[in-house]
Structure formats: structure tokens, C-alpha cells
């Protein structure tokens, strides 16, 4: 996780609300209906096993400064594996086919940065609008943008803090359907700590019965009309100090939100420790599987099968294939990790071919891809076993692969966000030692894929 400059420290321009019009944006002309009342459009989207037959749009409030992290860079722009947190959240919504559009609400000084992020990570359905000095004001600006004529007004608006990157389609579907039916819906989680009330002198006044209360999380959903009306009627104090959209719907629209319990991953990145936790989850998600390419040789398949068995104990799934052609080309579009196994071959041509395929598939836009070149050599007549070659015997011709060669290849690949590592297996005649070497190979492979460290790129490690 990196939180480098540019780090906007300028606090958002104060965004005063005009009581008459409740315009959330001081620059926009005040007018009686800040939320157009055109009939919501209809659209039919088929979800596997379910359907959403109304338009759904999303508002991602991302206009905060993240003061509680103690960092200069607002947490939504802190990077994980070279990508800002907000891009992960946007991706979680982009892959939901029945969501028609996403409005990201950012501080005015971050509008250019947000536009760059949308372009760099090829986000679709996304546009950025300026936020306000409080979360409610930002959300209000986002909701208003949904009705400003650039697109068909949605039936349901999903509101989700941009710093909650782990949200799944199943929950979004439940929230959207409940909001369409009920007018409002929100995700909840059990309380971890008991809530207590304090006296003005800082003493315990009373304790709430924890079982009767829940933590209000995100996503939340509202019919466009309900959330518009709520923001049109709410008070200046609500805009300034409020933290709960569901409350506004109840208070100003008489709409009782349907509450839906979500998974533990709904938590909001708030403190610095949450950034580390988010990075760990992102890395873990990318490291659950890999594709092993053998070229079809018997020795390479033997080594790959041994590796597959060994990493299974490390909670990692390997698919062993001969190449990335035909139906195996699908791995180029779904896998983040590739292991090229070469036995008795000195050149890196096979791994170069993998790199070329990956670059052509343009897969490294969202996440760095990991390619590991694993080399071994059969050293006895028993073809059922691939023994390990010493680095000085790596090739049939007796010439080993120069470490500089893989470093050069890796340096070029890194510019395309592909991390190339090499692992050599040591020579042994002893089956038990060979097993231990394969276990080391599995541990190194798993660690390289999990950490995706740019520092080790191009290194030739020894298993």
C-alpha cells in the first residue's frame, strides 16, 4: 500500500446549502426542483437466476479527506498493487451488468485525478462530479447528477461509500430489489462493541442492549424519488452533521428501510490499519490460483504435477495445461498468475511467448500479472522422475540461462505491469531431497504470487 503525493491537503471549498432550493452545489443556479421528476426508465437485465427489470444507478461518495488515517493522501486514492482503492470499488460495481451508470463524487481539487483514474484503468459507465464539505452534501450532489439529463433517470439509486471496496453482486441485488419494493434498503452488520450513552461529565449514563441494535453499513438503496425528496426536505443540520441516509428517508419521506444483513467484508476503510487489511484481502484474492504451462513434455508435466500437489497444501489451486492455445486461451482472460515450466531447455523462448500472449490480452490493466519461469532438468535414465539441474547445467547445450537474460526480459515486462520471476531447481539423485526441493519450489511460488513484489522481479531464485 502506498500513499504518496500528490496529496491534496486543501480542505474542500465550503459548500453552503441554499435553504430554499436545497441545491447541494453553490455554483449551480438555485431552482425549485433540484431533482427532475421525469418518469423512471425501464430496462431489462437478466442476472444468472434473477432479473432486474428497472434502471439502477450508483453514487459513490469519495469526497472526503480521510483524516482518521493520518495520511496526506485521502484513503480512497491510496494505492494497492499500483491501483487506487476507489478503482477497486468502481470495479466491484462495473462488473454488475444490471447497473447502468456510476457517479463518483470527489472533492473539486481531485476531479482531474479522478478523471485520470477512470481513463488509466479503463473504467466504463463512470463519471465524476464535485463533492461537498460533508458526506451528505456529496451524496446529494451525486444523486442530483443522476437526474441532470445526461442519462435516463434511474428507478433505484444505490449509495455506497467509495472506501468500501469489497461488495458482492448478490448483496447489491438484494438491496436494489428491496429498495424498489420498499423505497429504501440498507446493509447491516452485528455490533462488535456495546453502545453506551455518556454523561456530559464523561461518565456512563446507560448501556444499550446490544442484541437490539445493528451497525448500519453500505450499500444502501433508495428509489430515486425517495432519496430526492429526503434531500429536498432535510435540514441544514442534517447536511452538516448527519451520517445516515436511511434516517433521512424515514424522517422526511416516512419510508422505513428494509434492513439486510451483509457479509463481514462490508467494512469501511477508516483508519490506517484498514488500509493494510484491504491490501491483504486484495492480494489474497489474486493469489488463489495459477495456470501452469508445460509445453506438453513429459518431464515438465511430471514437475508440474508434483508442484500442483505441493501447492494444494498451501491453499492454492493450479491448473496444468500444455499451452495457451485453443480453449486454453481462456486462461489469458481469467487468470492472474502463470507458471511456465521448462525442463532441459536453456532458452526463455517459452516464457517470452507467454509474455507476448499476456500483453496481447491486455490483462495487466487492473492488476499486475505474475509470471514465474520454473526450470528443472532430468538427470537420470528414469523418465518418470524429473531431477533438478544445477544452475550450471540448466540447458542441453551446457549453457545456463544468464541471470541478466531473465532480468532484461523482466524489466521489459514490468513496464507492462507483468512481474516475471525465475526459479531454478537444484540437482539431486535422491528422491527424498527432490521432494523437499519441490516443496521449496511450491513455497517460493506461493510467496511470489501472494506478494507480487516488484523488488524481486527478474531474480533467479533457487528451490
Ligand X SMILES: Nc1ccn([C@@H]2O[C@H](COP(=O)(O)OP(=O)(O)OP(=O)(O)O)[C@@H](O)[C@H]2O)c(=O)n1
Read off φ and ψ for residue 241, nearest 5 degrees: -120, -10
CB of 462 to ligand A1H0Z, least distance (A): 48
- Cell digits for 122? 479503463
Q: Are strands 204-207 and 317-321 parallel, antiparallel or unpaired?
A: unpaired
Return all residues near 389 (Cβ < 8 A) that are at least 6 apart: 344, 375, 376, 377, 379, 424, 425, 426, 427
243 binds ligand A1H0Z (CB under 6 A): yes
Residue 391 three-state SS: helix
d(CA 137, CA 367): 33
Residue 130 bridge partners (DSSP): 106
E strands, 344-411, in order: 369-376
**Residue with the CB atom nearest ligand A1H0Z in the bound state:** 243
Which is closer to ligand A1H0Z, CB of 118 or CB of 257? Answer: 257
Partner from ligand X, ligand A1H0Z, none binding residue 63, C-beta < 5-8 Å depending on class: ligand X
Which is closer to ligand X, CB of 8 or CB of 66? Answer: 66
Chain positions 130 to 189 lying near ligand A1H0Z, rule: CB under 6 A, are 135, 161
- Tell me the CB-side half-sphere exposure of residue 304, using CA atoms within 13 A: 27
Q: Which positions lie near ligand X, rule CB under 6 A?
A: 12, 61-68, 74, 76, 105, 131-135, 138, 161-163, 268, 270
Integer angstrom CA distances of residue 273 from 73, 144, 287, 373: 15, 34, 21, 35
Partner from ligand X, ligand A1H0Z, none binding residue 450, C-beta < 5-8 Å depending on class: none
**Residue with the CB atom nearest ligand X in the bound state:** 64
Instruction: Find the helix packing angle between 245-253 and 135-146, rounded to 10°.
Output: 70
Partner from ligand A1H0Z, ligand X, none binding residue 218, C-beta < 5-8 Å depending on class: ligand A1H0Z
CB of 160 to ligand A1H0Z, least distance (A): 9
272 binds ligand A1H0Z (CB under 6 A): no
Q: What is the 3-state secondary structure (H, E, C) of 186-204?
A: EEEEECCCCCEEECCCCCE
Which region, judged by CB under 6 A, interacts with ligand A1H0Z, from 25-33, 221-229, 242-250, 422-430?
242-250
Partner from ligand A1H0Z, ligand X, none binding residue 243, C-beta < 5-8 Å depending on class: ligand A1H0Z
Partner from ligand A1H0Z, ligand X, none binding residue 71, C-beta < 5-8 Å depending on class: none
* Residues 215-234, mask of contacts with ligand A1H0Z (x by CB under 6 A): -xxx----------------
Q: Which residues bind ligand A1H0Z (CB under 6 A)?
A: 135, 161, 216-218, 243-245, 268, 270
Amino acid at each position: 500500500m502506498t500513499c504518496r503525493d500528490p496529496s491534496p491537503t486543501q480542505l474542500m471549498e465550503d459548500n453552503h446549502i441554499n435553504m430554499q432550493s436545497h441545491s447541494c452545489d453553490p455554483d449551480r443556479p438555485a431552482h425549485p426542483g433540484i431533482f427532475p421528476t421525469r418518469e423512471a426508465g425501464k430496462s431489462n437485465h437478466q442476472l444468472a437466476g434473477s432479473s432486474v427489470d428497472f434502471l439502477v444507478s450508483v453514487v459513490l461518495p469519495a469526497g472526503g479527506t480521510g483524516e482518521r488515517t493520518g495520511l496526506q493522501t485521502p484513503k480512497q486514492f491510496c494505492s494497492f498493487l499500483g491501483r487506487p482503492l476507489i478503482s477497486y470499488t468502481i470495479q466491484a460495481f462495473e462488473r454488475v451488468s444490471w447497473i447502468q451508470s456510476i457517479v463518483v463524487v470527489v472533492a473539486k481539487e481531485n476531479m482531474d485525478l479522478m478523471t485520470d483514474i477512470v481513463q488509466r484503468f479503463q473504467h466504463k459507465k463512470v463519471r465524476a462530479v464535485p463533492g461537498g464539505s460533508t458526506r451528505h452534501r456529496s451524496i446529494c450532489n451525486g444523486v442530483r447528477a443522476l437526474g441532470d439529463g445526461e442519462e435516463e433517470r434511474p428507478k433505484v439509486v444505490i449509495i455506497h461509500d467509495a472506501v468500501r471496496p469489497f461488495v458482492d453482486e448478490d448483496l447489491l441485488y438484494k438491496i436494489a430489489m428491496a429498495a424498489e419494493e420498499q423505497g429504501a434498503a440498507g446493509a447491516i452488520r452485528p455490533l462488535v462493541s456495546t453502545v453506551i450513552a455518556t454523561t456530559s461529565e464523561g461518565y456512563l449514563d446507560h448501556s444499550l442492549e446490544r442484541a437490539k441494535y445493528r451497525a448500519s453499513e453500505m450499500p444502501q438503496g433508495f428509489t430515486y424519488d425517495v432519496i430526492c425528496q429526503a434531500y429536498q426536505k432535510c435540514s441544514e443540520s442534517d447536511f452538516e452533521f448527519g451520517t445516515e441516509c436511511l434516517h433521512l428517508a424515514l424522517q422526511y419521506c416516512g419510508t422505513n428501510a428494509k434492513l439486510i444483513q451483509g457479509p463481514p467484508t462490508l467494512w469501511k476503510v477508516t483508519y490506517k490499519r484498514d488500509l493494510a487489511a484491504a491490501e491483504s484481502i486484495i492480494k489474497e484474492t489474486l493469489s488463489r490460483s495459477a495456470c501452469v504451462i508445460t509445453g506438453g513434455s513429459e518431464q515438465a508435466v511430471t514437475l508440474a504435477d508434483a508442484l500442483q500437489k505441493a501447492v494444494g497444501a498451501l491453499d492454492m489451486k493450479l491448473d496444468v495445461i500444455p499451452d495457451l492455445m485453443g480453449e486454453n486461451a481462456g486462461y489469458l482472460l481469467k487468470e492472474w498468475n502463470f507458471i511456465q515450466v521448462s525442463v532441459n531447455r536453456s532458452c526463455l523462448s517459452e516464457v517470452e511467448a507467454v509474455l507476448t500472449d499476456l500483453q496481447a490480452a491486455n490483462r495487466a490493466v487492473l492488476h499486475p500479472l505474475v509470471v514465474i519461469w520454473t526450470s528443472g532438468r532430468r538427470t537420470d535414465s528414469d523418465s518418470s522422475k524429473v531431477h533438478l539441474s544445477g544452475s550450471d547445467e540448466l540447458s542441453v547445450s551446457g549453457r545456463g540461462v544468464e541471470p541478466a537474460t531473465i532480468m532484461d526480459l523482466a524489466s521489459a515486462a514490468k513496464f507492462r505491469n507483468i512481474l516475471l520471476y525465475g526459479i531454478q531447481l537444484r540437482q539431486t539423485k535422491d528422491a527424498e531431497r527432490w521432494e523437499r526441493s519441490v516443496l521449496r519450489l511450491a513455497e517460493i511460488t506461493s510467496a511470489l504470487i501472494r506478494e507480487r513484489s516488484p523488488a524481486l522481479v527478474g531474480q533467479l531464485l533457487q528451490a
